[in-house]
Amino acid sequence: MTPRRRRLVLVLGILAGIAIAGALALQAFRSNVTFFFDPSAVVAGQVQPGKRFRLGGMVEKGSLLRQPGSLEVRFAVSDFKQQVKVRYTGVLPDLFREGAGVVAQGRLNGEGEFIADEVLAKHDENYMPPEVARSLKNGQSRNGN
């Protein structure tokens, strides 16, 4: 092989590698990205059953129920219009409380209950995840109309 052809092969090989890596990354991205929905969207049936997503909103006041002595908790997430019941088994984050913003990750079960495998509340008293803040704001302004 002449040096020129060798370089051509090298460049083509590198390009093919990059293309494959890009395609695989895109594929991984498509199948692993999680979308955010607020309770209204969930109640309206915009989420495919069984698909993993993030649910965000306020923890409804008075909705937190715990089986005494067990790790299982139930609470409702609301956007002031609709609410979705959530079940979670595990340790809740420090800043989780009724009336505060929350984002939970998980799936809907057959009865329209959200089975969370992860509950996030961020490390700031005044913190509200931006997407939650926005969806709450929409909910309130729509209520006002």
Partner 1 sequence: MIPEIGHYALILALLLAIAQSAFGLLGPLSQRSRYLDAVPFAVAGQFVFTALAMGCLVTSFVQFDFSVRYVAENANSALPIFYRVAALWGAHEGSLLLWIFVLSLWTVAVTLRSRSLPPQFVARVLGVLGLLSVGFLLFTLATSNPFLRLDPAPPDGRDLNPVLQDFALAIHPPMLYTGYVGLSVAFAFACAAMIEGRLDQAWARWTRPWTTLAWAFLTAGIALGSWWAYYELGWGGFWFWDPVENASFMPWLVATALIHSLAVTDKRGLFKSWTLLLAISGFSLSLLGTFLVRSGVLVSVHSFAADPARGIFILAFLVIIIGGALTLYAWRAPLLRSDAGFELTSRESFLLFNNILLVIAAAVIFGGTLAPMVSDALHLGTLSVGPQYFNPTFLLPVLPLLALVSVGMHSGWKRGNLARVRRPILGTLVLAVTLALAICAGAYDFSVMLLPVGLALGLWMALAALVDPIDRLRRGLSLPAGIVGMSLAHIGLGVLTIGITVVQSVTIERDTALAQGAQTTLGSYSFRFEGTAPAEGANFSATEGTVTVNQNGHEVAVLKPQKRNYWVQQSAMTEAAISSGWNRDLFVAMGEDLGQGKWSLRLQVRPLIQFVWFGAIIMMVGGVVSGLDRRYRLPKTAPVTADVTPAAGVQGQAA
Q: Are 92 and 73 in contact (CB under 8 A)?
A: yes
β-bridge pairing 65-66 and 114-120: unpaired
Considering the complex, what minimum distance in angstroms separates the CB of residue 63 from partner 1?
17
Q: Which is nearer to partner 1, 12 or 14 (CB)?
A: 14
Pick from 35, 30, 59, 44: which is nearest to 107 by CA? 35
Q: Which is nearer to partner 1, 4 or 110 (CB)?
A: 4
β-bridge pairing 72-78 and 53-59: antiparallel
Considering the complex, what minimum distance in angstroms separates the CB of residue 5 from partner 1?
12
Question: For residues 17 and 29, what is the distance between their CA atoms, to the nearest angstrom?
Answer: 18
Considering the complex, what minimum distance in angstroms separates the CB of residue 119 from partner 1?
11
Q: Which is nearer to partner 1, 101 or 111 (CB)?
A: 101
Considering the complex, what minimum distance in angstroms separates the CB of residue 62 from partner 1?
17
> Which residues contribute to the site for partner 1 (CB under 8 A)?
3, 6-7, 10, 14, 17-18, 21, 24-25, 28-29, 32-36, 54, 66, 68-71, 89-92, 94-95, 122-125, 127, 129-131
Q: Which two tokens stand for residue 48?
A: 């495919």
Q: Which is nearer to partner 1, 53 or 80 (CB)?
A: 53
Neighbouring CB atoms inside 10 A of 64's CB total 15
* Residue carrying structure tokens 């139930």: 74
